[in-house]
Copies of this chain bind each other. A is one copy, B any other.
């Protein structure tokens, strides 16, 4: 059978988050595989209450583990590397990345108690990593974290460029600038680019993206204009932004204090890996709290409203000896990711109550995106002249829009969401399989399947409340008449003006008294009767039907 080149997204295609992509080459069903990125996404109360992290279900990879040659990580954002420690035990393959990303990947493996010697650090192109039939090069791209890389994946069927997350930034402040000559080279080597697998995040943003460097002056002006304490928040991993913010603070005659574990860790890693050579000196929270307010600038975690991050802590009162007050200024040097609005607004209002003046990036002065906008994506299509474009890193609407963009330029394109396996060997992509995929949830310390029912039950309890009924059947197989009902998350009292639990109990007592032997002797039948009455009485009394758990205890004859 002829060999073929396949593409299979397991995460990140049809959503923004938990990236996990697979490429394969070989005879159908026997392709050698590489994995690109193993990221997480975060749960919310609407869809995954109590869940700590969400990641792609890699059951298919696990079942084909002997075919995997390597794992590549494009950059150190959580949605690209966050699941590495948790999923590595299922794959147990070498991990390839560049130095800064490697330091973060190493932390992930360490936290999960996995062997860190599995991480292999590589220099960027022209260095080549060989993994089975694949020859892979890391190509520096600009993004909102240092050392982001696109991957050139050379295969016997042609060249793939997998962009990872990127923007076109000629002056990225920290890290490597966009290099059009390099990309021109990549496009024109050998047979050129067969497949461009490309970031779609900002495909709806109509204007060309802006450089990180444009923020320096507005941020300096901003800090200069403030009279009391200045606080700025951004993503901890945006080292360039941290640097720009810190330099603005220093230039305005302030000392810099970093708050938030993630931020201090990122700066440490950036210094240790040589990414960051000239970060201004920082002071401790204790030192900060002793200086005059107009001599300090805090740079803090929590730009997305995270409840435990520094910005949320500061919004709730004194934190590490620092208390915000009337006349202080708080800048969100960030964009709120859709879905995080409630958390961010909560913090803003709490700060407002303290008299803190709020500033956001809505007018574009204090934040630029890390992703390529629509014209930038078009520029990359033109630059790389791929035969096929596969949009990735986007919700369905982003992927679809991106595919339309490519098709308008006469390029073959296809929307392939998680689980869709494409054959890329031919002129145009072709769907060849649909893999059962899904999501894994980290719940406490346990990985569970999204469809296991755990989360479904939590959501039901949250929406409907929970009634627990305990019934005892005595040694003679006669139900004791006093069923016990405990309610959780339900109003104590309904229409009748007596406690709902007592009301249900008395209906149950009647039911148990009347119940025939066939019902009493059959757990399922008895449970069904009890559940029905509990829900019926609740509906009449309070207008809703709770989840019901029935415990039947049968006393053994002595």
Q: For the complex, what is the distance from the CA of A400 to the CA of B454, rounded to whole Å?
A: 43
Could you tell me if B465 and A454 are in contact, using CB atoms closer than 8 angstroms? yes
Most-contacted residue by chain B among A345, A445, A452 (CB, 10 A):
A445
Contact of A551 among B457, B470, B542, B547 (CB under 8 A): B470
Interface presence of A466 (CB below 8 A): yes
In the complex, which residues of chain B have a beta carbon less than 8 angstroms from the beta carbon of A349?
14, 395-397
- Chain B residues whose CB sits within 8 angstroms of the CB of A465 once the complex forms: 50, 454, 457-458
Asked if B551 contacts A551 (CB within 8 A), the reply is: yes
Of A178-186, A213-221, A336-344, A425-433, which stretch is located at the interface?
A: A336-344
User: Assuming the A-B contacts A462-B461, A484-B553, are A495 and B454 also in contact, with contact meaning beta carbons closer than 8 angstroms in the complex?
Assistant: no
Are A458 and B489 also in contact (CB < 8 A) when A50-B465, A338-B341, A472-B553 are?
yes
CB-based contact B446/A348 at 8 Å: no
Q: Is there contact, CB below 8 Å, between A458 and B454?
A: no
Q: How far is the CA of A444 from the CA of B50 in the complex (A)?
A: 24
What residues of chain B lie closer than 8 Å to A493, measured between beta carbons? 446
- Whole-angstrom CA separation of A489 from B457 in the bound complex: 5
- Contact flag A543-B495 (CB < 8 Å), given A50-B462, A462-B50, A486-B549: no
A347 to B452, CA, bound (A): 25
Q: Is A459 an interface residue (CB 8 A)?
A: yes
Q: Are B445 and A495 in contact (CB under 8 A)?
A: yes
Contacts of A490 in B (CB 8 A): 454
Give A417's nearest chain B residue, CB to CB.
B353
Within the complex, which residue of B395, B468, B486, B544 is in contact with A345, where a contact is CB–CB below 8 Å? B395
Residues of chain B lying within 8 A (CB to CB) of residue A341: 338-339, 341
Within 425-477 of A, Cβ neighbours of B (below 8 Å) are at 443-446, 448, 452, 454-455, 457-459, 461-466, 468, 470, 472
Contact B463 A397 (CB under 8 A): no
Tell me the complex Cα distance, A247–B272, Å.
Answer: 65
**Which residue of the partner chain, among B348, B444, B489, contacts A461 with CB atoms under 8 Å?**
B489
A443-B542, A448-B491, A458-B462 are contacts. A396–B352 as well, Cβ < 8 Å?
yes
Instruction: For A455, list chain B residues within 8 Å (CB).
Output: 489
CB-defined contacts of A553 to chain B, threshold 8 Å: 470, 472, 480, 484, 553
Stretch in A29-37, A41-49, A374-382 touching the partner: A41-49
By a CB distance below 8 angstroms, the chain B residues around A273 are none
Residue A358 lies at the interface, judged by CB distance under 8 Å to chain B: yes
Q: A289: CB under 8 A from chain B? A: no
Q: Is A488 an interface residue (CB 8 A)?
A: yes
Q: Are B463 and A49 in contact (CB under 8 A)?
A: yes
Known: A444-B542, A495-B445, A553-B484. A466 touches B461 (CB 8 A): yes
Q: Are the C-beta atoms of A400 and B352 separated by less than 8 Å?
A: yes
CB neighbours (8 Å) of A529 from chain B are none
B residues near A461, Cβ cutoff 8 Å: 458, 461-462, 466, 488-489
Chain B residues closer than 8 Å to A338, beta-carbon distance:
341-342, 345
One digit per residue, 1 when the CB lies within 8 angstroms of any chain B CB and 0 when it does not, for chain A 351-364 equals 11101001000000
A551 cross-chain contacts in B, Cβ below 8 A:
468, 470, 484, 486, 551
Chain B residue nearest to A482 (CB atoms) is B553
Q: Does A133 contact B (CB under 8 A)?
A: no
Residue numbers in B under 8 Å from A463 (CB-CB): 49-50, 458
The complex places the Cα of A489 from the Cα of B455 at a distance, in Å, of 6
Q: Could you tell me if B547 and A491 are in contact, using CB atoms closer than 8 angstroms?
A: no
List B contacts of A345 (CB < 8 A): 338-339, 395
Which A residues between 213 and 260 are near B, CB-CB below 8 angstroms?
A: none
**Given A45-B46, A466-B488; 20 other pairs, CB 8 A cutoff:** A14-B349, A44-B46, A44-B342, A45-B49, A46-B46, A49-B459, A50-B464, A339-B341, A341-B341, A345-B395, A445-B494, A445-B543, A446-B494, A454-B489, A455-B489, A458-B463, A458-B489, A461-B488, A470-B470, A486-B551
Q: List 17 A-B contacts (CB under 8 A).
A: A45-B462, A46-B342, A49-B462, A349-B395, A349-B396, A352-B397, A353-B396, A443-B543, A445-B494, A452-B492, A459-B462, A461-B461, A461-B466, A461-B489, A472-B472, A486-B551, A555-B555
Going nearest first, the 7 A-B pairs with the smallest beta carbon separation are: A444-B543, A445-B543, A444-B544, A458-B489, A462-B462, A49-B462, A45-B45
